[in-house]
Amino acid sequence: MTTNKTVPSDIEIAQQATMQNITKIARGIGLVEDDIELFGKYKAKLSYEAIERLKTAKNGRLILVTAINPTAAGEGKSTVTVGLGDALQKKGKSAMIAMREPSLGPVMGVKGGATGGGYAQVLPMEDINLHFTGDIHAITTANNALSAMIDNHLHQGNECKIDPRRIIWKRVLDMNDRALRKVVVGLGGPVQGVPREDGFDITVASEIMAVLCLATDLEDLKRRLSLIVVAYTYDKEPITVADIGVEGALTLLLKDALKPNLVQTIEQTPALVHGGPFANIAHGCNSVMATSAALKLADYVVTEAGFGADLGAEKFLNIKTRAAGVHPDAIVIVATIRALKMHGGQNKTALKEENIPALQAGLENLEKHIETIQAFGLPHVVAINRFITDTTEETKVLTEWCRNKQTPYALTEVWEKGGEGGLELAEQVLAAMEKPSFFSPIYSLQDSLADKISKVATEVYGAKEVVFSNKAQKQLEQFESYGWGELPICMAKTQYSLSDDAAKLGRPKDFTLHIRELLPKIGAGFIVALTGDVMTMPGLPKNPAALKMNVSLEGKAVGLF
Amino acid sequence: MTTNKTVPSDIEIAQQATMQNITKIARGIGLVEDDIELFGKYKAKLSYEAIERLKTAKNGRLILVTAINPTAAGEGKSTVTVGLGDALQKKGKSAMIAMREPSLGPVMGVKGGATGGGYAQVLPMEDINLHFTGDIHAITTANNALSAMIDNHLHQGNECKIDPRRIIWKRVLDMNDRALRKVVVGLGGPVQGVPREDGFDITVASEIMAVLCLATDLEDLKRRLSLIVVAYTYDKEPITVADIGVEGALTLLLKDALKPNLVQTIEQTPALVHGGPFANIAHGCNSVMATSAALKLADYVVTEAGFGADLGAEKFLNIKTRAAGVHPDAIVIVATIRALKMHGGQNKTALKEENIPALQAGLENLEKHIETIQAFGLPHVVAINRFITDTTEETKVLTEWCRNKQTPYALTEVWEKGGEGGLELAEQVLAAMEKPSFFSPIYSLQDSLADKISKVATEVYGAKEVVFSNKAQKQLEQFESYGWGELPICMAKTQYSLSDDAAKLGRPKDFTLHIRELLPKIGAGFIVALTGDVMTMPGLPKNPAALKMNVSLEGKAVGLF
């Protein structure tokens, strides 16, 4: 944004937008009335019949939006995703967006939704940011039904010989609630169950969210659910959902949540907003169901993955592509001058001030992500997401750097202008997709777990070496012995740095990546490698956003963002 | 049911039924397309605009279905409610049903839904018994957002001076999960919050469920939410939701949940299924919003209240009528020969066997409930809900008893025959409503809390006296000093007996009712009087129903009931 005029808040823009009836949006992409299940006038789920019928259609082309290592505020990846979809539609293309649905918990905590921003938003934003179509509530329910069944199993005789000290399945709530991180359950005597240590994660960190997002249909969902490892026996043998016998009930609880949700942008571009797994402890992309359906419904599909290219894009390309059977035709790397200056040493509190040397120094972060995308064999475009504080000189330095590197780039102003502000990006992306691509994941599934981790660490992060803790070392052997050796790896690492140290900005070199622990996510179909403590249950700040929320007498959200 | 033919299961009947598109059902009661918000083809919410517009319409007549003290399996009150609605429609009347929505937790535990049975069911039963339109999930979220805000308040400096030992607000899940009854939260050191004892209830036991069911509009919802007492200070002063500052956010989270849900019966009679508070720790009736809207939309509205007339009907007549500003025009008391024999001393395992003396002895339970309804000044009809095991002689004894008492009665076979099996009941109910009625609650709000409890105990239960524990005695004084003396009373008592001892069947006399403790539910607007331990978080049985559940590849529920 280059002007000084005041801009209304996201919710003001969203509530002033004119939405089309979702049946009309559906018709625009070739769907008939029976293909969708309405949730009010502006939300719908695709029916299984429609998805089945679409299977024979030809796939459109897929554009993945990723970013450099972000600042705490994020670099506007969702906004660019929405704006690029709008821009493609504005250019007369058949375009759709596939993106994650936001978790309600953080909405109560810190101001800021996850449905884009400014004039590049998906609507109805207040619904999508609150209960939406209930998918996350269904996951909470399925997760906690499994927990109740496990504790009931312990209480009713423990036929499976679950070691109560080795239950790895936690309860969840879609809430920022630090007091639930570590709890003791089953207190109160023999009638109230078996006392044990437990904890709650936020729902989007549940393995069931990852399972839902990687499943290709109801049958695959059930198969994945049955494989989830929930505990170990006293003999350290894994116990699965199938051992507990509850995969049918969990699938039943998720039968509607698996259907992708159809909504629209402010510019009435169709969007599938579905699934939102954590981008550290899980893979951080919207559902395979949504991406696959969008590819059948549009010629161009814009999607995104969480955090920077070292996390979200790496997992999209090594994990999701394998589950979905498709890969992106082009990658957009979102960069901001603010964040590049931070990577070049500018103080975080002074990112609004011009600092050419810091910008120049910070460009090496962008450079590394470009190299990573090239290593995957895919064409890319750098999207320079403009902020009002960017100076002419700074913009010139960045664009000249891109030109010198012969890297395609575009300035975007989608936050302020919607699709109009993304036309240049759309042109660059369309051009990039004409280039030959040679997609190949960074590692083979036949590589050992340790080798997969090493390849990501060295080739994507630029690490010198990987050091495994004693615990992780032991787990590598155990997990291979359980037959989990051929699963892909899901790295859990800070999003702020290419390394496992959030303070190492720019392009750290010669660093060692430390693997503390591995977590089996056998239903999701990957092994999580933890490089440090991962926060899976956020807390509320001193003045939570909830304190300002309200609703008008007509039922409109007030103070949401 | 009087034949021996095998009858399909509830879910088989439900899935074979032909539903009308809910927009057509809505049109049938004078609603236009914009009056409803669709949830798929067969569920919808009434919009606030429609409810506002309906306010000027004339009220129909209200029929409340209650029962004698039930057996553990229940006496078919919901089934009779649905069947009576169908019968009235069959007779050409403009009729609607208003009933509670079932909690998902128990569905996972013990076989048996709460949407009627046989050919008298509301549909789509699998949706209604699972996530439905997400109302209960919204209540779970609002309840737990409040909990997170309370613990965050403690953690961030405790400005309100909450005594962590005196937090009475518990977390909830819509799950049968005994291991969560008593827990310790906030463990793990200073970063994870303040350790304290806590516990989880099932969501339908949340005060927010009672609040939602008694609120008359969004403004009243917010007012009630703000009044909820969540804790006490170190000086024992009550702390409310308004003190925490989160009433706006909670109202926002509940803004759609407050809208009544429109569905249909197997015979396509319109039904509002909305809200389902516990019938012991809360008042056990569907929402005021649903009852009020139904009365505007139909000439005859059939509704129900939980457990027997001593609990559900008493609370309907003393609590809900005051919040809703309407009262029933007639009461249906459901009785079964099985249950009457149990009240007369027949062994619970032999209820299928003929036993005339036991039946005759058990009739005094029915007699007491008839007297109670008469004490409220309302006409009644006894609905004899027939079972295949009822003998001709038993039926004759019961009907002759009714004739001798000049009590109107009707045999119903709605489980087997739908509305056709309730025609006689419909005629009797229509006739009863022609009689003069002189409705008056049992107590005045100006009575002291102790007097209100005494009046219910003596006039409804038939107790000789009430004895308050020391704790309850002290609370009576405290609560009056907090200004809560003019609230109605919500009794929490076993449903199996008129007394507070589940083993005292029939019509116990000269017994003492013991009040153990009082609970303030200031948002709901009543004081709960506990007569013993009340189970607010059920457990799962050794072989939970969840083990048999599944879903077909097309997304149909299997093994639900």
Phi then psi for B256, rounded to 5 degrees? -90, -30
User: What is the rounded distance in angstroms from the CA atom of residue B134 to the CA atom of residue A134?
Assistant: 6
Determine the pLDDT at residue B561. 72
Are the C-beta atoms of A537 and A182 separated by less than 8 Å? no
Q: B140 by DSSP, 3-state: which?
A: helix
Looking only at the bridges linking them, the beta strands covering A196-198 and A183-185 are antiparallel
Read off the pLDDT band of B3 (50, 70, 90): very low
User: What is the rounded distance in angstroms from the CA atom of residue A312 to the CA atom of residue A67?
Assistant: 9
Are the C-beta atoms of B288 and B324 separated by less than 8 Å? yes
Across residues B322-351, what is the average pLDDT?
A: 96
Interface confidence: ipTM more than 0.90 = yes
Cα distance from A475 to chain B (closest Cα, Å)? 25
From the candidates A252, A258, A262, A536, which should be mutated to test the interface with B, based on the most B CB atoms within 10 A?
A252
- Percent of chain B, pLDDT > 70? 98
Across residues B109-130, what is the average pLDDT?
A: 89
Read off the pLDDT band of A5 (50, 70, 90): low
Angle between helical axes of A77-90 and A423-432 (0-180°, round to 10): 80
Whether A141 and B174 lie within 8 Å, measured CB to CB: yes
* Catalytic residue selected from B100, B171, B341, B521: B100
From the candidates B33, B255, B542, B558, which should be mutated to test the interface with A, based on the most A CB atoms within 10 A?
B255
Determine the pLDDT at residue B250. 98
Chain B stretch 130-189, residues whose beta carbon is closer than 8 A to a beta carbon of chain A: 130-131, 134, 137-138, 140-141, 144-145, 147-149, 151-152, 155-157, 171, 173-188
Read off the pLDDT band of A1 (50, 70, 90): very low
Determine the pLDDT at residue B397. 98
Provide, as residue numbers in chain B, all residues whose Cβ is less than 8 Å from the Cβ of A141: 104, 131, 137, 174-175
Summary mean pLDDT of chain A: 95
Residues A186-218 pLDDT 10s: 999 999 999 999 999 999 999 999 999 999 999
User: For every residue of B465-491, which 3-state class applies, written as one string?
Assistant: EEEECHHHHHHHHHHHHCCCCCCCEEE
| Token pair in block for residue B384 | 């004899």
Read off the pLDDT band of A112 (50, 70, 90): low
Say if residue A168's pLDDT is above 60: yes
Cis check for the bond before A270: say yes or no (omega within 30 of 0).
no
**How big is chain B, counted in residues?**
561
Q: What is the DSSP string of A282-305?
A: S--B--HHHHHHHHHH-SEEEEEB
Binding-site members of A for ATP are 71-78
Read off the pLDDT band of B4 (50, 70, 90): very low
Chain B stretch 482-511, residues whose beta carbon is closer than 8 A to a beta carbon of chain A: none
* Catalytic residue selected from B17, B39, B43, B77: B77
Concerning whether B358 is annotated as a catalytic residue, the answer is no
User: What is the rounded distance in angstroms from the CA atom of residue B16 to the CA atom of residue B429?
Assistant: 30
Are the C-beta atoms of B346 and B355 separated by less than 8 Å? yes
Residue in chain B closest to A38 (alpha carbons) equals B40
Residue in chain A closest to B243 (alpha carbons) equals A547
Say if residue B534's pLDDT is above 90: no
Determine the pLDDT at residue A8. 85
Cα distance from B46 to chain A (closest Cα, Å)? 11
| Interface membership of B219 toward A (CB under 8 Å) | yes
Give every CB contact of residue B513 below 8 A, 6+ residues apart in sequence: B453, B457, B461, B463, B465, B466, B467, B493, B499, B500, B531
Give every CB contact of residue A43 below 8 A, 6+ residues apart in sequence: A22, A124, A127, A132, A133, A261, A262, A263
Provide, as residue numbers in chain B, all residues whose Cβ is less than 8 Å from the Cβ of A535: none
From the candidates A42, A152, A202, A203, which should be mutated to test the interface with B, based on the most B CB atoms within 10 A?
A152
Among candidates B504, B498, B70, B452, which has minimal Cα distance to B310? B498
* Catalytic residue selected from A279, A361, A410, A472: A279
User: Of the candidates A151, A155, A187, which has its C-beta nearest B182's C-beta?
Assistant: A187
Residue A216 identity: T
Least confident of A299-303, B517-521, B552-556: B552-556
User: What is the rounded distance in angstroms from the CA atom of residue A360 to the CA atom of residue A310?
Assistant: 21
| Token pair in block for residue B362 | 């058990």
How many CB pairs (< 8 A) connect A and B? Answer: 226
Provide, as residue numbers in chain A, all residues whose Cβ is less than 8 Å from the Cβ of B35: none
Binding-site members of A are 71-78
Whether B149 and A546 lie within 8 Å, measured CB to CB: yes
How far, CA to CA in Å, does B491 sit from each of A431, B72, B187, B483?
72, 20, 36, 20
* Catalytic residue selected from A17, A39, A79, A463: A79
Residue in chain B closest to A217 (alpha carbons) equals B553
User: What is the rounded distance in angstroms from the CA atom of residue B542 to the CA atom of residue A37?
Assistant: 37
pTM tops 0.90: yes
Angle at A135 between CA A496 and CA A39, to 5 degrees: 125
Determine the pLDDT at residue A280. 83
Residues A6-64 pLDDT 10s: 678 888 898 899 999 999 999 999 999 999 999 999 999 999 999 999 999 999 999 99
| Euclidean distance between the first and the last CA atom of chain B, given in angstroms as a whole number | 19
Looking only at the bridges linking them, the beta strands covering A116-117 and A120-123 are antiparallel
Residue A252 CA neighbour count, 13 Å, CB half:
27
| Interface membership of A547 toward B (CB under 8 Å) | yes
Across residues A247-273, what is the average pLDDT?
A: 98
Concerning whether B79 is annotated as a catalytic residue, the answer is yes
Residues B447-457 pLDDT 10s: 999 999 999 99
From the candidates A49, A107, A180, A543, which should be mutated to test the interface with B, based on the most B CB atoms within 10 A?
A180
Residues A117-167 pLDDT 10s: 999 999 999 999 999 999 999 999 999 999 999 999 999 999 999 999 999
Burial track A258-277 (b if 16+ CB lie within 10 A, e otherwise) = bbbbbbbbbbbbbbbbbbbb
Read off the pLDDT band of A533 (50, 70, 90): confident
Residues B133-156 pLDDT 10s: 999 999 999 999 999 999 999 999
Whether B179 and A540 lie within 8 Å, measured CB to CB: no
Across residues A527-555, what is the average pLDDT?
A: 93
Q: A401 by DSSP, 3-state: which?
A: helix
Q: Which residue has the tokens 């059930």?
A: A222
Determine the pLDDT at residue A202. 97
Say if residue A386's pLDDT is above 50: yes
Summary mean pLDDT of chain B: 95
| Interface membership of A345 toward B (CB under 8 Å) | no
User: What is the rounded distance in angstroms from the CA atom of residue A468 to the CA atom of residue A479?
Assistant: 14
Cis check for the bond before B124: say yes or no (omega within 30 of 0).
yes
Helices (H), B405-554: 414-417, 423-432, 449-455, 470-481
Chain A stretch 507-546, residues whose beta carbon is closer than 8 A to a beta carbon of chain B: 539-540, 542, 544, 546
Looking only at the bridges linking them, the beta strands covering B183-185 and B196-198 are antiparallel
Determine the pLDDT at residue B206. 98
Concerning whether B415 is annotated as a catalytic residue, the answer is yes
Whether A185 and B179 lie within 8 Å, measured CB to CB: yes
Angle at A85 between CA A398 and CA A407, to 5 degrees: 25
Concerning whether A77 is annotated as a catalytic residue, the answer is yes
Determine the pLDDT at residue B235. 96
Among candidates B429, B289, B312, B267, which has minimal Cα distance to B75? B312
Concerning whether A100 is annotated as a catalytic residue, the answer is yes
- Percent of chain B, pLDDT > 90? 91
Across residues B111-130, what is the average pLDDT?
A: 89
- Percent of chain A, pLDDT > 70? 98
Across residues B507-526, what is the average pLDDT?
A: 97
User: What is the rounded distance in angstroms from the CA atom of residue A395 to the CA atom of residue A162?
Assistant: 60
User: What is the rounded distance in angstroms from the CA atom of residue B472 to the CA atom of residue B483?
Assistant: 16
Determine the pLDDT at residue A4. 42
Say if residue A487's pLDDT is above 50: yes
User: Of the candidates A130, A149, A152, which has its C-beta nearest B253's C-beta?
Assistant: A130
Binding-site members of B for ATP are 71-78
How far, CA to CA in Å, does A517 sit from each of A312, A451, A467, A474, B186?
20, 15, 11, 9, 24
Q: A73 by DSSP, 3-state: which?
A: coil
Other Cβ atoms closer than 10 A to A346: 23
| Interface membership of B32 toward A (CB under 8 Å) | no
Residue in chain A closest to B256 (alpha carbons) equals A555
Are the C-beta atoms of A381 and A410 separated by less than 8 Å? yes
Across residues A329-343, what is the average pLDDT?
A: 97
Provide, as residue numbers in chain A, all residues whose Cβ is less than 8 Å from the Cβ of B157: 542
Burial track B11-28 (b if 16+ CB lie within 10 A, e otherwise) = bebbbebebbebbebbeb
User: Of the candidates B151, B255, B549, which has its C-beta nearest A177's C-beta?
Assistant: B151
Whether A557 and B255 lie within 8 Å, measured CB to CB: yes
* Catalytic residue selected from A53, A90, A111, A223: A111
| Token pair in block for residue A152 | 């009931």
Residues A359-380 pLDDT 10s: 999 999 999 999 999 999 999 9
Q: B383 by DSSP, 3-state: which?
A: strand
Give every CB contact of residue A488 below 8 A, 6+ residues apart in sequence: A318, A319, A322, A443, A445, A452, A525, A526, A527
Burial track B458-482 (b if 16+ CB lie within 10 A, e otherwise) = ebbbbbeebebeeebeebbeebeeb
Q: B194 by DSSP, 3-state: which?
A: coil
Show the domains of chain B with their CATH numbers: 10-134+257-432 (3.40.50.300), 135-251 (3.30.1510.10), 449-531 (3.10.410.10)
Whether B218 and A553 lie within 8 Å, measured CB to CB: yes
User: What is the rounded distance in angstroms from the CA atom of residue A215 to the CA atom of residue A287?
Assistant: 8
Say if residue A324's pLDDT is above 70: yes
Concerning whether B100 is annotated as a catalytic residue, the answer is yes
E-strand spans in A139-199?
162-167, 171-173, 183-185, 196-198
Say if residue B5's pLDDT is above 60: no
Determine the pLDDT at residue A3. 41
Say if residue B112's pLDDT is above 80: no
Determine the pLDDT at residue A555. 87
Provide, as residue numbers in chain A, all residues whose Cβ is less than 8 Å from the Cβ of B191: 178
Determine the pLDDT at residue A456. 98
User: What is the rounded distance in angstroms from the CA atom of residue A469 to the CA atom of residue A451?
Assistant: 15
Among candidates A227, A246, A175, which has minimal Cα distance to A204? A175
Across residues B273-279, what is the average pLDDT?
A: 94
Beta bridge partners of B382: B333, B409
| Token pair in block for residue B208 | 């927010």
User: What is the rounded distance in angstroms from the CA atom of residue A273 to the CA atom of residue A260?
Assistant: 7
Concerning whether B77 is annotated as a catalytic residue, the answer is yes
Whether B141 and A549 lie within 8 Å, measured CB to CB: no
Whether B48 and A134 lie within 8 Å, measured CB to CB: no
Q: A513 by DSSP, 3-state: which?
A: strand
| Interface membership of A128 toward B (CB under 8 Å) | no
Cα distance from B527 to chain A (closest Cα, Å)? 26
Provide, as residue numbers in chain A, all residues whose Cβ is less than 8 Å from the Cβ of B555: 48, 218, 255-256
Least confident of B5-9, B64-68, B104-108: B5-9
Determine the pLDDT at residue B216. 97
User: What is the rounded distance in angstroms from the CA atom of residue B198 to the CA atom of residue B183?
Assistant: 5
User: What is the rounded distance in angstroms from the CA atom of residue B79 to the CA atom of residue B425?
Assistant: 13
Give every CB contact of residue B461 below 8 A, 6+ residues apart in sequence: B310, B493, B498, B499, B513
Whether B179 and A173 lie within 8 Å, measured CB to CB: no
